[in-house]
Copies of this chain bind each other. A is one copy, B any other.
Amino acid sequence: MRLADLGERSGVPLATVKYYLREGLLPPGQRVNATQAEYDESHLRRLRLVRAMIQVGRLPVATVREVLAHVDDESLGTSIRLGAALWALPHSAGGPEKETGPAAEPGQADPARAAADALVGELLAELGWDAAREIGGLSPAHRALVTALATLHRLGYEFTAADLLPYARTMEQAAEHDLDRMEQLPDIRARIEYAVAGAVLFEPVLLNLRRIAQAEQSSRRYGI
């Protein structure tokens, strides 16, 4: 298809498509003559992904470029390629990675963070998530989880590994569905693009399903 068709089929304004091309977020089409190029389904898929990251995920162009570099890196094994693309995305911890204020003197140990770190280690051991244990704090999701639990701890909300275990098991099921769905796609690149889009776009779906489920459970237990 021509550039104008790509814009029309994706619903992305033509000026924006051209900007993504210039910024290298969208690979160039196949030249057919001096002034025209041909684009295919892979361009359409990539365009939608870029649009999702920028418009919905509000990611800066530099981050989008970094994520896509991992998506396109065929020298990596599938798991590392997928991991690298997802790691380049922002991770919300609901708070700063380091405590600020008087408790955060340089060189001073942060007891809330140390406790949260031990808690995550214990949880992963009980879950038998051996790859996740091995990767440990190298993973931004691991670090963000420790930060979130340290914040909860500082605010006086205490959790044990046993408290967190059922939540981790439900998220394990969600991750299995994620990968099952991903594996329906034809090739590795499309699968990794799908995983990135899912990380950016699907989190509000999950969180709002949880809130609706809470309201449903509450109505069943206590009446409307």
A185 shortest CB reach to chain B, Å: 12
Inter-chain contacts of A78 with B (CB < 8 A): 218, 222-223
Report the bound CA distance from A83 to B215 in whole Å.
6
Inter-chain contacts of A175 with B (CB < 8 A): 210, 213-214, 216-217
User: Is A26 on the interface with B (CB-CB < 8 A)?
Assistant: no
User: Is A155 on the interface with B (CB-CB < 8 A)?
Assistant: yes
Inter-chain contacts of A211 with B (CB < 8 A): 86, 91, 139, 141, 199
- The residue in chain B whose Cβ has the minimal distance to the Cβ of A83 is B215
A42 shortest CB reach to chain B, Å: 13
Interface contact A217-B155, CB-CB below 8 Å: no
User: Is A203 on the interface with B (CB-CB < 8 A)?
Assistant: yes
User: Is A132 on the interface with B (CB-CB < 8 A)?
Assistant: yes
A136 shortest CB reach to chain B, Å: 10
Given contacts A52-B155, A217-B175, contact A181 B163 (CB under 8 A): yes
Given contacts A56-B95, A94-B56, A201-B152, contact A167 B209 (CB under 8 A): yes
Given contacts A170-B170, A175-B210, A221-B179, contact A216 B155 (CB under 8 A): no
A sample of 10 more A-B contacts (CB under 8 A), given A92-B207, A195-B214, is: A48-B157, A78-B218, A95-B204, A139-B211, A141-B215, A145-B208, A148-B201, A164-B209, A167-B206, A171-B209
User: Is A75 on the interface with B (CB-CB < 8 A)?
Assistant: no
